Amino acid sequence: MPHGAPLELHGVTVTYGSFDAVRDLDLRADAGEVLCVLGPSGCGKSTLLRAVAGLEPSRTGSVRLGDRTLDGLRPDQRDVGLMFQDHALFPHRTVADNVAFGPRMRGLDRRAVAGRVDEALRLVDLTDLARRRITELSGGEQQRVALARAVAPRPQLLMLDEPLGSLDRALQARLLEDLTRVFGELGTTVLHVTHDQHEALAVADRVAVMRSGRVEQVGSPDELWRGPRTAFVARFLGLDHVVRLTVRDGVADSPWGTLPVPTTRDGTHDVVLLPEALRVLHDGEPLRDHELAVTGRIVGRRFAGDHIRVTVDPGAGPALSVPVWRGSVPEPGSDLDLALDPRAARVLEPEATIRSR
């Protein structure tokens, strides 16, 4: 199976009429790295992918793959595999014929094409379905055929556009495991586009969060989760406890008490509480070192599989959401004691500063 080449984008701008869908964007994926581009609908992430594939012209900037500049090359000259959200399979052809399409277009002989098909189908565990027609397959099986077809030509770069977006949640979870395994076995460079933060954090070596045509932050899943730079990134990752506080001499004045925060910048700042900042105190359980006590009234409960998500109104400041993992869940209207660890608070950068870079 292939080994990837580094991908580099410098100053890439893609324009539709007078609208810049991608604006002066710089981005790099190392050889063999899985880079997820994460963002809401309309942020430009799919346009970026299409520009790398040669399906959309760039108004400015350049794209390099390994030691080659891709600017001006046709899509079939770029050594890029592309998996679309809607699969784009040939519906009345067999699985094997669909997977063989790329190697045939590269001019390989019959024996080499058959070898590539066998290799790709083994990778996605579809060898037994090689003679089936696409119309006879489930949605998940079609998704794996699309992946096999994308990797069969052995591209230096594999790109996936919302690969799990059209599937139900249970099937998404199973195919997410498949993608993680396949990426590990391939060794090729992967550019994976998605709006789903759980998908991005699960499969990526690094994640690039996009907003309005630009990259807001790039980092490993752990780096983003523990150190979002802006309120937009924090909230898009699902970190909803963002509050605006006044900070002086490294201490934030909050509705729940004083919070030591790691910053030298005085003034009013957005501060995010990471998930580990809050926990439920059970049956008179004491506070740990550094923790603050917060008591609030339960105003909502939501079933979340292996736990219940409880929303607490502390009376001052925004509502707080915490998981309850064990024991009976208190009824709405009752009080709940929480512990807040200020060491899990992070000061965020002003978004205007990020947007101007």
- What global pTM score does this model have? 0.89
Instruction: Say what the pLDDT of residue 261 is.
Output: 81
Rounded distance between C-alpha atoms, residue 48 and residue 50, angstroms: 5
Reading the block at residue 39, the tokens are 């963002």
Rounded distance between C-alpha atoms, residue 270 and residue 320, angstroms: 16
Rounded distance between C-alpha atoms, residue 181 and residue 313, angstroms: 43
Q: Which fold has domain 7-231?
A: Rossmann fold (3.40.50)
Instruction: Say what the pLDDT of residue 155 is.
Output: 92
Mean pLDDT check: name the lowest of 116-120, 166-170, 227-231: 166-170
Instruction: Say what the pLDDT of residue 317 is.
Output: 85
Instruction: Say what the pLDDT of residue 295 is.
Output: 93
Rounded distance between C-alpha atoms, residue 226 and residue 239, angstroms: 10
Is 106 exposed, middle or buried, given 0-12, 13-18 or 19+ CB atoms closer than 10 A?
middle
Of 262 and 53, more confident? 53
Q: What are all long-range contacts of 42-47, with beta carbons under 8 Å and residues at least 24 apart?
A: 43/210, 43/211, 43/212, 43/213, 44/14, 44/210, 44/212, 44/213, 44/214, 45/193, 45/194, 45/195, 45/210, 46/161, 46/162, 46/193, 47/14, 47/21, 47/22
Give the angle subtended at the CA of 106 by the CAs of 182 and 136, to the nearest 5°.
55
Beta-bridge mates of residue 207: 36, 219
Cβ 36 vs Cβ 204: under 8 Å: yes
Does position 356 have pLDDT exceeding 70, yes or no?
A: no
Does position 355 have pLDDT exceeding 60, yes or no?
A: no
pLDDT band at 204; cut points 50, 70, 90: very high
Does position 133 have pLDDT exceeding 70, yes or no?
A: yes
Of 310 and 331, more confident? 310
Q: Which fold has domain 276-340?
A: OB fold (Dihydrolipoamide Acetyltransferase, E2P) (2.40.50)
Rounded distance between C-alpha atoms, residue 189 and residue 176, angstroms: 17
Does position 64 have pLDDT exceeding 90, yes or no?
A: yes
Rounded distance between C-alpha atoms, residue 29 and residue 221, angstroms: 15
3-state secondary structure of 340: strand
Instruction: Say what the pLDDT of residue 166 is.
Output: 66
Does position 327 have pLDDT exceeding 70, yes or no?
A: no
Return the domain boundaries, the chain. 7-231, 239-273+345-355, 276-340
pLDDT over 90, % of the chain: 66
Does position 37 have pLDDT exceeding 60, yes or no?
A: yes
Mean pLDDT, the chain, as a whole number? 90
pLDDT over 70, % of the chain: 97
pLDDT band at 17; cut points 50, 70, 90: very high
